[in-house]
Chains A and B, each alone.
Chain A
């Protein structure tokens, strides 16, 4: 069965410093991986995805993520954190491996990112 783990409940970082939010996955077949962000009282906003190709994918708001097949990881990164990046971040994997299919997303537990001025 597919699963996603986010080992950190919370990540604290100073504004201007680089940030990393960790995610590891377990899938059968090729992984389709996603990061979403949730601001207080808001829905989930799509940040970026890895489907195939370059291991470093770039997304919204200056975020990027590195796919590492050998370590089964998909860590979210940003070179310079902003206070406004403070939010709840979810890693997700698409269940199954059908191209363009409608399979559900399986989410990690979420990591709260706190960026301090």
Chain B
């Protein structure tokens, strides 16, 4: 069964450093998402992406964040200058055309020290 994959599973970085989180969505899916979950809190939407552009972004997704689909398979989330409060589990999700359920990857745990 196809699945969404994410790398790395755990990333530790120092405050102010740039990080790139990578995702490979399910092939032939067209809609892509990033969500995050701060420890013990609810899952929050960050951004959606379709047709090589951002469809919607939340207030969390400020100028420090960017997304890219560089090669038709990977979908990346970049945080330019990490802050302590960026520590969270980041989930990638994808959705097929005409479908309703988003499929989630296993997540990347980002720890900012």
CB within 8 Å of B: which residues of A?
Answer: 32, 34, 36, 42-46, 49, 51, 90, 92, 94, 100, 102-110
Contacts and interface: CB of A to CB of B under 8 A. Distances in A.
A102 B55 contact: yes
Interface stretch (B14-22, B77-85, B98-106): B98-106
A103 B102 CA distance: 10
Interface in B1-43: 4, 6, 30-31, 33, 35, 41-43
Interface in B33-58: 33, 35, 41-45, 48, 50, 55-56
A109 B40 CA distance: 9
B95 A108 contact: no
B98 to A, nearest CB: 5
A45 B92 CA distance: 12
Interface of B: 4, 6, 30-31, 33, 35, 41-45, 48, 50, 55-56, 91, 93, 95, 97-107
A34 to B, nearest CB: 6
A44 B50 contact: no
Contacts of A34: 100-101
